[in-house]
Structure 1
């Protein structure tokens, strides 16, 4: 019997609800960490069961189920528009505006720096373990792993108590650097596949069209929503308008070949700040924000569960596992350099406080977007290595970094307070 899209959605929602209940009732991990851990443990348990009982085909059944879902299409062409809009809806524009230099620099220059550092390091790592990956494919890997994931980052920020400007800067950077990363990934992937020669001028124009077009479309969509919502007072219709902005806008962005993620982040920022304050009654804004908060929580739960379940897709090759483990410190070093260099350069104009480096580096989580981009790579030796490394980095990021960020920031804050005394 074939699995319909409704069947797949039902299975994922039931699993997310069940595991979420178990985590909330008995374990107490942060939701994103708990669901990822339990999904990964369940996947590893299935792999172990298959090894112990060769006649059992549960692992193969799960792999078929996950392939039927198509993680890349589900996230990049479905869930991402909702998640980015819902996340941006709650970002304080006033606070983010104070850190706008950091947002722009980190989401552009920072991503480029990280991509180059990761590519060079991954080239050396894969050559050392006997699985050499060509430089252009190392650049592809650098582009897909360098952006921080706004969904994972915002799930972490909800549990921390960092200053408002820093929190808005971290959120803003994560919202926009994934759009920049997706555009950069597409440009380098086209070069790697030989479908287009790399020409710096053409790459800059393509980047400007996708990112700039996404920004412009997000502003237009937000303005249209403002005009429509200001002229009525009906929370049912206004929630539908916000849904139309997300679903119609993201689809239109794909048709026009401009960045849907950038458009959704921009529209969400505009509606969450300008429209909610000036075009809605208190009752309507409460309904709208609660509706999108619920959507955000449900899709977050499904996404992190999927990340955990996707462990079954990692090929059982010790060299691939070694490449992934070795890439963890490489990615952390690249993140540190791509944060510290811009922050130091911007110091005369921007001071985000003593917690900024730690928050941006340790709180710069990788998540579903990196996994989705890795799954979109064509078949070949570079795909297996990149995919395994991506999974391992994302699991480390969500579980270790996401699970410890509160304690790390408390420790850093206490040290900063002690130095002040």
Structure 2
């Protein structure tokens, strides 16, 4: 099946899931389409196991989709750029030190904590993997997913300052997580970076991919700013920003720098200059509406695809149980990795009493984790980690996603009683 047919099928299924959710479940759209998508995946798998030809063809088609390529070579760039574009850059800049600390230090701490605890869990279960491979799972699951987090923050009505902190951290730790995954995968399996032999090699690769991505994204953003100020036509402005995403992502791959980080930085810069009037008042509603709609449609489509990819995951009762045990490990690691840096950041930044709880429970995992798990070399480790990742992601989207609004409301009520100012 060609790419047009695949896209058409996904759009149709996305529309069906969105309709069924709006008509019957009436859940938040991203949560609802995941639930319905999972039910469709289970139904299709069941019919395929009974030998029904159309169901078997559908399962084969879904298994042929390279989820990691779909995400990393197209969809992710649009979603990160759109998310950064809509962020309150002024609020983010006031907390830039805290955002970068959480994105770098907290992600690194979580990778170590998750990797170490999962290594012990698998050892107890009789599944012996190397510590490096266990750390690879830490790199897969530790970064919070900006696609899921940004959607959650909009629905939960988180206070502006806390929203900027969580969203900014999520946008940056995504790129950091991808770079960390690349480094650890090279140490564990070799491959494209098999020449890595020491600390200096690791440091150079990090600088090349992460810092290079930030610098390249800044250059893209500045170029776009210069071009945007020359025109006053929303169609041209939209096309220029589309070129930043599509052409910028291709150039990032060619240069060997982090495309996700480049898109985040470019989106933040363009969003900042847009606020200052580079995009005219007449064009801005059309410009904002285009990118908002693009983000929403791609977001929902991605969540449907995440759910449907259940047919490509090799579940077993043992791996499913281990996945459920990984949920508290990931939450505990997230909580510790947020609280420890916060002890030092309190000297400079003011955090409300419940910031760590909201950041911990609101640190959703999503498509990026699933894509990283799919991109592991085929083998027993990939099969196991794919199940563990999938269970954590589904719990994150459905359970944490549905309860986040109530948590924020309760926290705001308690902070009001304490007289906390946001």
TM-score (norm 2): 0.96
* Residue 12 in structure 1 maps to residue 10 in structure 2: yes
Aligned to 1:108: 104
* Residue 151 in structure 1 maps to residue 147 in structure 2: yes
Aligned length: 417
What's the CA shift for 1:57?
A: 4.6
SS at match of 2:324: helix
8 Å CA contact 2:63–2:312 kept in 1: the answer is no
Say which of 112, 122, 128 aligns to 1:126. Answer: 122
Structure-2 change in CA distance of 1:419 and 1:244 (3 Å): same
* Residue 92 in structure 1 maps to residue 84 in structure 2: no
Cα distance in 1 for partners of 2:53, 2:345 equals 56
Aligned to 1:186: 182
Summarize deviations over 1:74-120 as a string: whole Å, max 9, x none: 00111000000000011111100111122101110111100001111
Summarize deviations over 1:12-57 as a string: whole Å, max 9, x none: 1111112112212222111110111111111122233345xx2225
8 Å CA contact 2:315–2:387 kept in 1: the answer is no
Aligned to 2:304: 305
Aligned to 2:366: 367
Say which of 67, 76, 80 aligns to 2:63. Answer: 67
8 Å CA contact 1:116–1:142 kept in 2: the answer is yes
SS at match of 2:347: coil
RMSD (CA atoms): 1.5
* Residue 357 in structure 1 maps to residue 346 in structure 2: no
Aligned to 2:323: 324
Say which of 18, 24, 29 aligns to 1:26. Answer: 24
Aligned to 1:45: 43
Cα distance in 1 for partners of 2:54, 2:186 equals 37
SS at match of 1:278: coil
What's the CA shift for 1:227?
A: 0.9
Cα distance in 1 for partners of 2:19, 2:99 equals 36
What's the CA shift for 1:58?
A: 5.1
What's the CA shift for 1:198?
A: 4.2
Summarize deviations over 1:338-372 as a string: whole Å, max 9, x none: 10111121101011323421221000000000000
What's the CA shift for 1:64?
A: 2.1
8 Å CA contact 1:114–1:142 kept in 2: the answer is yes
Summarize deviations over 1:282-303 as a string: whole Å, max 9, x none: 1212111111111101100110
Aligned to 1:288: 287
Aligned to 2:407: 408
Runs (4 or more) in structure 1 with deviation over 6 Å come to none
* Residue 165 in structure 1 maps to residue 161 in structure 2: yes
What's the CA shift for 1:413?
A: 1.9
What's the CA shift for 1:278?
A: 2.7
Structure-2 change in CA distance of 1:198 and 1:185 (3 Å): farther
Aligned to 1:230: 229
Cα distance in 1 for partners of 2:215, 2:15 equals 38
* Residue 387 in structure 1 maps to residue 386 in structure 2: yes
8 Å CA contact 1:99–1:352 kept in 2: the answer is no
Task: Structure 1: give runs of 5+ residues left out of the alignment.
Answer: none
Choose 271-280 or 102-111, whichever is displaced more: 271-280
TM-score (norm 1): 0.96
Choose 79-88 or 19-28, whichever is displaced more: 19-28
8 Å CA contact 1:159–1:406 kept in 2: the answer is yes
